[in-house]
Every structure is written in C-alpha cells, then in structure tokens.
Amino acid sequence: MQYQSTRDKSIKVTAAEAIKQGLSTEGGLFVPDSFPSVSLEEIEELADKSYTERAYFVLSKFLTDFSEEELLYCINNAYTKEKFETNSIAPLYKLNDSTYVLELWHGPTCAFKDMALQILPYLLTTSMKKTNEKDEVVILVATSGDTGKAALEGFKDVEGTRIIVFYPNNGVSEIQKLQMVTQEGNNVSVAAVNGNFDDAQNGVKRIFTDGEYAKLLEKNQFKLSSANSINWGRLVPQIVYYFSAYADMLKNGEIKPGEEINVVVPTGNFGNILASYYAKKMGLPVKKFICASNENNVLTEFIETGIYNKNREFHTTISPSMDILISSNLERFLFDLTGEDDKAVSKWMEALNRDGVYEIPADVKGKLTSMFAAGCCDDKETMAAIKDCAEKYDYVIDTHTAVAKAVYDNYVKETGDSTKTVIASTASPFKFNQSVLIALGDYSSVAGKNEFELLQELSEKSRMQIPKSLAALQDKSVIFDLVCGKEEMQEVVSDFLMLE
Ligand SMILES: *Cc1c(COP(=O)(O)O)cnc(C)c1O
C-alpha cells in the first residue's frame, strides 16, 4: 500500500516515508491510496484476541512495508500492562443497556493521546531505519497540556530520538505542569515559555521553517520532526480501539455479529473521530458518528451547514483539549468524501488559510450528513452531564467525556435513536479533578486544596483509585525549571543539542 497527499495525488510514498515526513512537502496530509477491507468473520475472530493482537491485525493492513517482526516490536513495546495498568489496554465500560464507555485513558499520562503517542516513537524510529535515515530525530512540541506530556512519556529513552517540549508558563493546569517538569529520561527537555500557547506554537513553527537553522542541524546530524496529530503514525493506532470495542461487545454478547453501532467522540482536531470513520470504511458496522464539541463549535456548524468558518470568538472552556478552531484532520475526511478530489481540497485549505472560511457543495454535504450528526454544549451543560452520570450510574467521567455524553443525550432525545452506542472517553476524571469535583456539587470541597488533596477528595467521592502516575507526582522532584522568553526558544534547542 502506498500513501498519497490530500493536496496532490500524484505524490506517492511508503508508510515508512509518510511517518518519517509527517506532512507532505506541498502541505497536504498523507492518506492510504486504497483502504483494506475486513470481513465480518475476521471481526468476529477478534473477539477472542488480546489488544496487542487486535492492534497487529489492523496495523499490518496499513503498514504493509513493515515486517511482522518490526510491527510486533512496535506494538509489544507500546501496549504493555505496566504502562496501561490494565491488560485490556482500552476497556469498555457498560453504562446501561445501550451505552458503553470506551476508556482510552489508562495510559501513563491519563489521556487518550497515549493510545497513539506510546507507539509513535517506535513507528518513527523503525521508519527511520527502513528509509536509511542516519540522523538523530529531534521532536519539537508546543503543548497546551496533554500532548506534551504524552509525547515525553512516549519518546523518553527511545534510542535515536530526543524530545523538547515548550509549554506556556501560565497556560497549563497545575497537574499538567507537574507532569512535565518532573519528566525523567535521558533524552528529554522541557521549558516554560513566557507567553501563551500561540507564542509557544509560533516559536516552534519559526524553528521548523528556519532554513539556516535546518542546515546547522543537518551538519550536526539532527533532523527535526513533530509529534502532532497530522502524522499518519498517530492516526493509524487510533483505528484499532474501535475494532477492539466492537470485538468486546461481541465477546460479551452485547451485540450480534454485523449489528450496527453508533460512535460518539468528543472532538478537537478531528483525529479521533476520523479514525472511527476509517474503521467503518474498512468494514466495521457503524451507523452514525456523533461529533461532540464544546463552545468552540466550529465543527457542529460545519456538519449542520456545510460551511467551515473559523472567524469566531475563541472560548476557554473546562474541556481545554477541545479548544480548537482549526481541525486539521478534517482535510483527510474531505479528501475521502469528495472521492479523492485533491484540487477541491487544496482550494478549500487555501481559502481557510486566506479567509478563514470555505463551503462544501451540496452533494458532499449530503454524504456527510448521511453518516454524521453533531452537537455542542457549554461548560454548564458539561458540568450537569458529569453530575447526572455520577448520580444515575455511579460512574464519574471527565470534562471531555462529559461533552460527548451531553451531546449524545440530546441526540437521543431529538432522534429517538436507540442503536447501541460507544462513547469515546478521552481523559481520566483525575486529570481534570477540580472541574469534576465542582460538578459533583461541592465548591467547598475544592477551596484551598492542593492538587494531591484534590486527587484524594475525588478518589473518595468516585470510589476510584487515583492513577499511579498522578499519585507518584507528589514524590518527584522538579528537573526542569527553565523559563525562556518567546524569542529565546531556538537558543534553548541549541543548548539542549549542544550545537556550536
Ligand atoms: C486531544 C483530546 C481530544 C480531542 O481529540 P481530537 O483527536 O483532536 O479530536 C479530546 N479529549 C482529550 C482529553 C484530548 O486530550
């Protein structure tokens, strides 16, 4: 199987090249030039398999230039019981007779980014070897919280790689900051930037596009790369858990083979929900995809009207990982919906860049709404969904999952659709403990408490165990206390790499 660019179909590369490059040279994203199809019998067989076997089943269909040995090396190093604190890796929790919660947050950083970022370093280093790349990869990340820590945990001590993460000094939660500044590993570095997330991201972009600096790096045998969600190596591992959820439902007798399910995904960059769509394209029986947004509801409007318009107020919400106005993976979906029309996709992406807005034609919009429903909710509704879920089912969800739950409940009210439904749960409630505790009804329970007291309080209220990795933060010492100006980021990189 080859990979082609969404903005120029004539560009074809192997999976290893696509993962190594991240982005195509003309700015497009890599997508498979054909989709593997999976039979119902094969899906049924997955019921008795482990998560790693299910991962091999899916990944081997896409990364066709990887040997069995290479793939097993990547998969078996990524999805271990030690890292995920559970054998099932992505367990499915039954909320009631028609609603199931796919818990994607058992990884080392307690958010679903681990599902892809635990395996990406292995896919990337294997891709480097396969393409005879001799340089060391340097991963540069600007983070608003979840991605930075997940990338650090994924890349730490992975041979042939270094990673440096920049976070906005006053723009991440206390627990996210603690997670990053205590990071261990012999190839990692973390710096706070005096500025907001945009400053950190712009700084990273400047380093990436500085031609002189690229030459200096090359001379020192370094190659810059990024770990963000446009890389195919981050998307393909996400297809696995939708097959895994379906296989678990079959195994537990919740559905009959071939029975269609719905999928609800709390969405930001459109990566996670796109992975579920790709699963359906391969043959997974899915009826509706329900795209859930917070107040930054650019996708809700797009799915309802066919107009994508990022010219709107940016809202800071209690589900910060979905505070996004440009959903970059939508480009891959549009490429697919238009029957691989690279010209149309290029035109829309140019319009988005220039005017911040584009509109898709009625036939494409029709295809979209035949499969997708969308909805959004504000912080108040998110809080109410957490409380409601805890009271009805004695099950505590985080703020992102709560957006999905609220949107799903509205969808059911409006449509009466009783199809069995999987809700993608993207973070542990402990990671957003303060909002969750307030939602559970007690402002006084958070007042004056530090992070560890909050974790304890939430553990008592939810009768869930505090994730080991979060509890352990209390005894870790701060390793990275560097704060730099937004103009000094390149110097920080040079110091870390000891460039002359
Ligand atoms: C990144 C993230 C999301 C959004 O996922 P996309 O793939 O960007 O749509 C949702 N919830 C949490 C907790 C996240 O970290």
Give residue 59 CA to ligand 1 midpoint distance, Å.
21
What is the position in ligand 1's atom list of the atom closest to the CA of 145? 15
Confidence label for 441 from pLDDT (cuts 50, 70 and 90): confident
Which pLDDT value is given to residue 18?
Answer: 95
CB distance 426 to ligand 1 below 6 Å: yes
What pTM did the predictor assign?
0.95
For residue 443, the model assigns a pLDDT of 83
pLDDT per residue over 144-189, tens digit each?
778 999 999 999 999 899 999 999 987 788 888 999 999 999 999 9
pLDDT at 230: 86
With helix as H, strand as E and coil as C, how does 342-394 read?
HHHHHHHHHHHHHHCEEECCHHHHHHHHHHEEEEECCHHHHHHHHHHHHHHHC
Handedness of CA 43, 47, 48, 51 (dihedral sign): positive
Mean pLDDT, all residues of the chain: 95
pLDDT greater than 80 at residue 72: yes
For the stretch 359-374, pLDDT in tens is 999 999 999 999 999 9
Tell me, using a 6 A CB cutoff, whether residue 111 lines ligand 1. yes
Q: 68 CB contacts (<8 Å, ≥6 apart)?
A: 60
The conformation of residue 90, written as its DSSP 8-state character, comes to S
Q: Which pLDDT value is given to residue 173?
A: 80
| Of 105, 175, 293, 400, best ligand 1 pocket probe by most atoms within 8 Å of the beta carbon | 400
Asked if 404 contacts 112 with a C-beta cutoff of 8 angstroms, the reply is no
Whether 228 has a pLDDT exceeding 90, the answer reads no
Most confident of 201-205, 278-282, 310-314: 278-282
More confident call, 171 vs 139? 139
Distance CA 357, CA 405 (A): 29
Q: Is the pLDDT of residue 325 over 90?
A: no
For residue 401 and ligand 1, the question of a CB distance below 6 A is answered with no
pLDDT at 442 over 80: no
Residues 278-303: what's their mean pLDDT?
98
